[in-house]
Structure 1
Amino acid sequence: MSAAPARRRDATANREALLRAAQTLLSTDPYASLDTIAHAAGLSRRAVYGHFSDREALLREVITVGAARFNAIAAATDDPDPGVALSRMAVRLWREASAVRAAANIALDDAHVAHTVVALAPLRRRVRELTAAGVASGAFRGDVPPRLLAFLVEETARATLRELRLTTDDAPAAVARVVLSMVGLSWREQVDLLTAHPEVLAAD
């Protein structure tokens, strides 16, 4: 076997290691340095430049990769009840763990807002669709325009997804309830929905 395929495999493995390290570190520290990320990936700073021109290029790739996963979740999450669909989507996003929090942390930086907005366009469109459907059916609050309500859901969900004090056990229910609260369901209605639809909190 020639050395070229082995080098390509090594390069692919190194790139994946860098992205994993970046996701893990940026989920707790959005300002983690390139040296810190490289060290966590078991690579030198020089090796990083074989894959990314600078830290900004790495951050953009973290956003792109995370967004692709989030958009896939949004596309695959559906239910006749928009409350069920919206809360289940939020829980599935939470289960993406460090990738979610890394992208959410990066998105807080004004320098990356434009890239994040473009990358997450399918997810944001799906949130707007579900919110509009919920308002139209009377399932969601009707005192706020649907597009504004969708924006509030996005911002509240993003803040909740970044919350590291939530444990694995209580996070899914907390994430679902925050989203359901935002769209106007009372705590009793939330309990009823989650009791009637245990699949919302179940691990896929």
Structure 2
Amino acid sequence: MDDGVDGEGTGRRRGRVRANRSRIIEAAIAEFAANPDASMDDVARAAGVVRRTVYGHFPNREALVQGIADEASAALVSLLDGLPDLPDRPDLTTALLALLSWPVGDRFRVLLTFARRELGEERIRDLLVPARAPSLAIIERGQADGVFSRYLPAPVLVALSEAIALAMFEEANRGAVTDSGESFAVASLVLLGIAPERAAAIADEATRWLRESSAASGR
């Protein structure tokens, strides 16, 4: 019985630790979005915890920024692991992935405003690594089917699509992009050789597909 009580206590403590870490990460995202030079004290106040708690999870600002980056990467991996069964159409799947991934990038786009100088450009691009293999497979399939253009090799198109994603999030930071990923879906398809009007129609189709899929699953 004592072991069970100890186990429950340990579980509660771990739960509090995880909850505090998540609270600190969310507070840091909001604080850095408002002020890239926000201090650890600012983050602690926003998270509603004492400074010691923040330092218990992240010994310095660099570690905190790295923690946000790790959280962003984990969120993308979670998204990709939990994808629904997507249509057997490379163009529609490309639009769907753009729409599904936009909220993840939108949540963490604050990294682009301040973290480049602390993490470096390469680390920012590394955040997109989990999506690289699926994107490559879809583009290669689309090129083989004649749906996507072959004007550039698929790996180059993947690299360009990642650059577009980062650019779109930068523009969202500036307020120039305010939609829910539709522009990103269209831009991704245009890059692959789809005419803009057709790309917009596919993005609309993807939006309807997600709405109907969500309704069917009761979410």
TM range (shorter): 0.7 to 0.9
* Aligned: 1:81 with 2:82: no
User: Is the 8 Å Cα contact of residues 66 and 119 (structure 2) preserved in structure 1?
Assistant: no
Q: Which amino acid counterpart does residue 55 of structure 1 have in structure 2? A: R
- In structure 2, the partner of 1:35 is 41
Deviates more, 1:25-34 or 1:134-143: 25-34
User: Is the 8 Å Cα contact of residues 157 and 178 (structure 1) preserved in structure 2?
Assistant: no
| TM-superposition CA deviations, 1:92-131 (whole Å, max 9, x none) | 1222365331455566447344555555432122122222
Give 1:191 shift: 3.0
- In structure 2, the partner of 1:153 is 161
* Aligned: 1:71 with 2:77: yes
Of 188, 193, 201, the residue aligned with 1:184 is 193
Give 1:155 shift: 0.8
**Higher Rg of the two aligned structures:** 2
Matches for 1:88-167 after TM superposition, within 5 Å: 88-96=96-104, 98-105=106-113, 108-109=116-117, 111-116=119-124, 120-162=128-170, 163-164=172-173, 165=175, 166-167=177-178
Identical pairs, percent: 25
Distance 1:118 1:172 in 2: 21
User: Is the 8 Å Cα contact of residues 96 and 206 (structure 2) preserved in structure 1?
Assistant: no
Q: 1:137 to 1:27 in 2, by over 3 A?
A: farther
User: Is the 8 Å Cα contact of residues 84 and 200 (structure 1) preserved in structure 2?
Assistant: no
Deviates more, 1:94-103 or 1:180-189: 94-103
Please state whether the residue corresponding to 2:87 is helix, strand or coil.
Answer: coil
* Aligned: 1:45 with 2:51: yes
* Aligned: 1:20 with 2:26: yes
User: Is the 8 Å Cα contact of residues 98 and 185 (structure 2) preserved in structure 1?
Assistant: yes
Gaps (5+ residues) in structure 1?
none
Please state whether the residue corresponding to 2:56 is helix, strand or coil.
Answer: coil
Give 1:58 shift: 1.7
Gaps (5+ residues) in structure 2?
215-219
Relative to total residues, which structure has the larger helix share, 1 or 2?
Answer: 2
Distance 2:151 2:17 in 1: 53
Distance 1:118 1:15 in 2: 23
Size of the aligned set, in residue pairs, is 202
Q: Which amino acid counterpart does residue 72 of structure 2 have in structure 1? A: G
Q: What value does the CA root-mean-square deviation take over the aligned residues?
A: 3.1
